[in-house]
Structure formats: C-alpha cells, structure tokens
C-alpha cells in the first residue's frame, strides 16, 4: 500500500487538500457555480484524483455541507439548551460566539442559506431547526419573559441583527478591516439592544 502515513501529516494529505479546497470553493461560489476543475486546481491536484477520492462532485459537496451545518449548529445548540444560563446570558454568549464564528467564516451564511433554498427537499428532513428551537430552554425563557410576543420574532431579530451584516457586507460596508472592527463593536450593541427589546 502507498498509504500516505499513519497519523501525522494528515493535514497535508491529498484527501485533506481536496477537502480544504472544496470547502473554500464551494462556500465561495456555491454548488452549481463551482467546477470540479476549480477544486482540483485549488488543491493542486489532477481532476481525476478528485473523483478517485470522492467518487463525484455531489458526494464531495455533501461532505462539505454537513461539515458547515455542524459548524453553525455547534455554536447555537449548546447555548440555547443550556439551562444554567439566564436569558440575558444566552443572548450575550450567542451573539459573541456567533459573530466570532462569522468573522472567521464570512461566506457561511449566504452559502448555507443559498444551498438550502436551491434544494429544499434535501434538507427538509435533516434540518429541524424549528423543532429543536421549539423545545429549547431558550424559547421557554422567551415565552416566560414575554408571553405577548411569539418567540420566533425575537429569535429572527437577534439572528437578523447578527447574521445580516455578513450577508450584505458587499453592499453596506467599505473595506474588510473596518468591517471586522465594526463587527467587534457590534457585539456589545446587539447585546444591549436585545436586552432592551426584551423589556419593551
């Protein structure tokens, strides 16, 4: 066998190089707009090698998509389900962690939302964000605090204030540096505003 190695050097193995390249190109251009040749070139390998390792564009895409969805949920789920955090603590942690994640992965929201819209059937069953949220400690606390407001409205506002700048970055912000700076200062603003909204 010509196994690349045992455990070390995995981050530079061909397979890993392809995954890294696919992650980059897919999230940047979306499924239909990326050509397998783009990924191969980005990975510095032959096109046939991509199919040797992953059988097809579709298979490779599924892999990346699952990875990205887990990345998004790994930040949300532990927080909204943590019974030890108060409503205000949840909001603060959520905003802080989510903006940090998005600063490192600015393409993530538009990519994920775009692909879900492009193929709703493929995610209808797998993704039950609504159900998970419905039964969360977060929603329970929201209902308790403000029985007069549907929790979804508050959640959408919080997510909107947090995620939307990364979706509309191209249009609303100048250079990348001021954007990052403003996203940092935005953490405190959103937290404060969300608290205010909870009281009003």
Partner DNA sequence: AAATATTTTAATCAAATGATTAAAAAATAT
Partner DNA sequence: ATATTTTTTAATCATTTGATTAAAATATTT
Q: How far apart are CA 164 and CA 118, in angstroms?
A: 19
Give the SS3 label for residue 33.
coil
For the chain, give me the number of helices (H) and strands (E)?
12, 0
Closest to 109 measured CA to CA, from 174, 160, 182: 160
Residue 120 interacts with a second copy (CB under 8 A): yes or no? yes
Q: How far apart are CA 19 and CA 12, in angstroms?
A: 11
The one of a second copy, DNA, none whose footprint includes residue 168, by CB under 5 to 8 A per kind, is a second copy
Q: Integer distance in angstroms from the first to the last C-alpha of the chain?
A: 67
Smaller CB distance to a second copy: residue 23 or 162? 162
The one of DNA, a second copy, none whose footprint includes residue 51, by CB under 5 to 8 A per kind, is DNA
Q: Write out the two tokens for 47.
A: 């096109």
Residue 34 interacts with DNA (CB under 7 A): yes or no? yes
Site string for a second copy, 157-186 (x = CB under 8 A): x-xxxxxxx-xx-xxxxx-------x--xx
Q: Write out the two tokens for 30.
A: 């979306």
Smaller CB distance to a second copy: residue 31 or 53? 31
Contacting positions for a second copy (CB under 8 A)? 29-30, 32-33, 110, 113-114, 116-118, 120, 123, 127, 129-130, 149-150, 152-153, 155-157, 159-165, 167-168, 170-174, 182, 185-186, 189-190, 192-193, 196-197, 200
């Amino acid at each position: 066998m010509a196994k690349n190695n045992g455990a070390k050097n995995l981050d530079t193995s061909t397979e890993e190089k392809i995954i890294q390249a696919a992650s980059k190109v897919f999230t940047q251009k979306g499924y239909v707009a990326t050509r397998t040749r783009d990924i191969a070139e980005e990975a510095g390998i032959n096109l046939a090698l991509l199919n040797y390792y992953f059988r097809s564009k579709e298979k490779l895409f599924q892999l990346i998509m699952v990875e990205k969805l887990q990345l998004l949920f790994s930040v949300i789920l532990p927080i909204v389900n943590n019974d030890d955090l108060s409503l205000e603590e949840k909001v603060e942690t959520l905003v802080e962690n989510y903006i940090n994640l998005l600063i490192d992965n600015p393409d993530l929201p538009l990519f994920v939302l775009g692909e879900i819209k492009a193929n709703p059937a493929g995610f209808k069953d797998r993704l039950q964000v609504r159900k998970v949220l419905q039964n969360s400690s977060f929603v329970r606390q929201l209902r308790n605090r403000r029985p007069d407001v549907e929790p979804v409205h508050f959640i959408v506002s919080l997510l909107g204030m947090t995620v939307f700048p990364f979706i509309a970055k191209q249009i609303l912000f100048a250079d990348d540096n001021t954007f990052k700076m403003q996203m940092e200062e935005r953490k405190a603003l959103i937290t404060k505003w969300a608290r205010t909204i909870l009281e009003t």
